[in-house]
Structure 1
């Protein structure tokens, strides 16, 4: 148990969090096994259930998608070098999981690090996150681009069409990074080849139709959950956005990331990613140690606190109001 006397100043908190950055090899291996093995078993069970009725197989894909989300979160920890103490172990476990969730690990790690480095900065390209305009930026757009942004921010696009496009199509090419060197291409193309090999092997084993009937629902549901989690972690009313002259990494981490307080079972499936403000303050903390921080420093529980029920209200938010310093809806912005 740590001393609970901690300043609310982000830099002080970051220094205190260094004590939690050590991964535990046995715990990491167990977390990987209790996620990967049930996912494989549920996938097989869903395929076997197809003969008893398609709806039964579809029901089984729901928990399977939950385990796929948890695998993504383990890969996320690997991208920060947090899951294992070994750099090589983090990279290769991350790459293998990247094949399962259709995400090129090294390229995704590159864009995700940009997100961590510039989240909440109005003057930096918003790479690796949900595109968010200020009210004034939106008003300055020509009509066709305003309509395009409205379409992009529609819930059906953000949480249905968007995730499907992102994981099935967008991740297949390093769009927007064509001149960024060999890494985006190598990461993406090698992942594509590995996906092709795995998909071809599975189709040969179980058949094309059964494979698609099992894998597509799992992938699409997991993708939607993943995008929703990422959205809620930064798109809440009192989040943090500033121009570079006033922006600080520490303030953006603590106040621009939510504490998404989920029910216990959902916290497990999402690998504590809801404790996002702590994660952004110290991304090297393994996900299974994040609850230790809230236990030792309970005052951090209320920073950016959002419940599951409260999170649904964030769907209407679409623009950053620089005068009110909060996210607002199109209606509130009167645009």
Structure 2
């Protein structure tokens, strides 16, 4: 091949047919089971250890507590990544196995899995189309931001500051699902009462079961989401009470809020920087490409091998977005075998992560993510 031909070939835009990812879209139940066991077992031991270590303030507890805290956060990150795979039905072969595993893992994270996976599927379907999906922090356009008042601009920036991830993460995981469930039940009761009064005044018999069957909630998209959130809330509440009774409720909630807030903040941050980075593909509805959203709208986060293990290789996010059916234990292999085709994928080092948090506006005219200073 001549130099000119090689140069022409290297500058040819990557196409979906240039990639062979189908061989990596197979699940292995043995690997999946071992991943869950090797994550949940040490996580449980670390949680028991930190509960015992923090009973009394000693020199040993001052040394061990931060170490155990870090390991719990890391194992929770891995656990959430495995739950994420279950939502894509890629961790295990059978759909039922993924659903059971996802529900059990969701109890650990206090996050009802079914509503979350539906929202996450929407993200995958529209990644890179900023008309449809504005990221986890609901970004606004540059023009919309400029038309806001000074106070509104200040509030917008503060709500998207990285430090708000700590309380925001706890709200997202623990509080928001319970609020939605409570409001959903209150709405059902209120509308049922109104409907029942109308039926009675017109001389008709009111059947509450028929009403419930036909009721469409403003807080849930499907009936399965209601069932999943209700079951998750019952299991999580029982776990809270049981553990709190065992080690003391104040003791439990201090540990729980600090651990869950930090864990949620880290996972949201990782997700954020994998799509909000300098040069990220930021299309509108016109000419949007799912393929470009995967390759040019997802970063490859360069991390040490130990952190890749604790995040179940989610750093290979471009591969994950090419096909969510590729389980985490095949993402790295797929990347390595096809790495010559991934030259355009954004390599993001850990020391570059902070600058990504400034990209909180979408310039829908220039089709790029910008900061408020820009």
TM-score > 0.5, shorter chain as reference: yes
Find out whether 1:169 has 2:210 as its counterpart. Answer: no
CA-CA distance at 1:324 after TM superposition: 4.3
1:301 & 1:31 partners in 2: Cα distance? 30
TM-score normalised by structure 1 residue count = 0.90
CA contact (8 A) 2:220 2:226 kept: no
In the alignment, which residue of structure 1 is the partner of 2:85?
77
Among 261, 273, 284, the residue aligned to 1:220 = 261
1:177 & 1:237 partners in 2: Cα distance? 36
User: Over aligned residue pairs, what C-alpha RMSD do you find?
Assistant: 2.3
In the alignment, which residue of structure 1 is the partner of 2:14?
9
CA contact (8 A) 1:99 1:194 kept: yes
CA-CA distance at 1:150 after TM superposition: 1.8
In the alignment, which residue of structure 2 is the partner of 1:94?
102
For the residue of structure 2 that corresponds to 1:327, the secondary structure is strand
Structure 2, unmatched stretches of 5+, are: 1-8, 184-216
CA contact (8 A) 2:32 2:91 kept: yes
Matching of residues 236-315 of structure 1 within 5 Å: 236-299=277-340, 300=342, 303-315=345-357
- Range with greater deviation from structure 2 (108-117 or 183-192): 183-192
2:162 & 2:227 partners in 1: Cα distance? 33
* Corresponding residue pairs, total: 325
Residues 1:197 and 1:233: Cα distance change in structure 2 (over 3 Å): same
Find out whether 1:146 has 2:153 as its counterpart. Answer: yes
Structure 1, unmatched stretches of 5+, are: none
In the alignment, which residue of structure 2 is the partner of 1:320?
362
CA contact (8 A) 2:111 2:174 kept: no
Find out whether 1:40 has 2:44 as its counterpart. Answer: yes
CA contact (8 A) 1:258 1:276 kept: yes
2:81 & 2:249 partners in 1: Cα distance? 28
CA contact (8 A) 1:58 1:217 kept: no
CA-CA distance at 1:229 after TM superposition: 0.6
Matching of residues 117-196 of structure 1 within 5 Å: 117-126=125-134, 129-157=136-164, 159-174=165-180, 177-178=218-219, 180-196=221-237
CA-CA distance at 1:169 after TM superposition: 1.2
In the alignment, which residue of structure 2 is the partner of 1:110?
118
Which digits, 9 at most, give the CA deviation of each residue in 1:13-40, with x for residues without a partner?
5x61111010111111111111110100
Find out whether 1:23 has 2:23 as its counterpart. Answer: no
Greater gyration radius? 2
For the residue of structure 2 that corresponds to 1:316, the secondary structure is coil
1:10 & 1:200 partners in 2: Cα distance? 53
CA contact (8 A) 1:43 1:214 kept: no
TM-score normalised by structure 2 residue count = 0.81
Which digits, 9 at most, give the CA deviation of each residue in 1:46-65, with x for residues without a partner?
11111353533343121111
2:146 & 2:133 partners in 1: Cα distance? 19
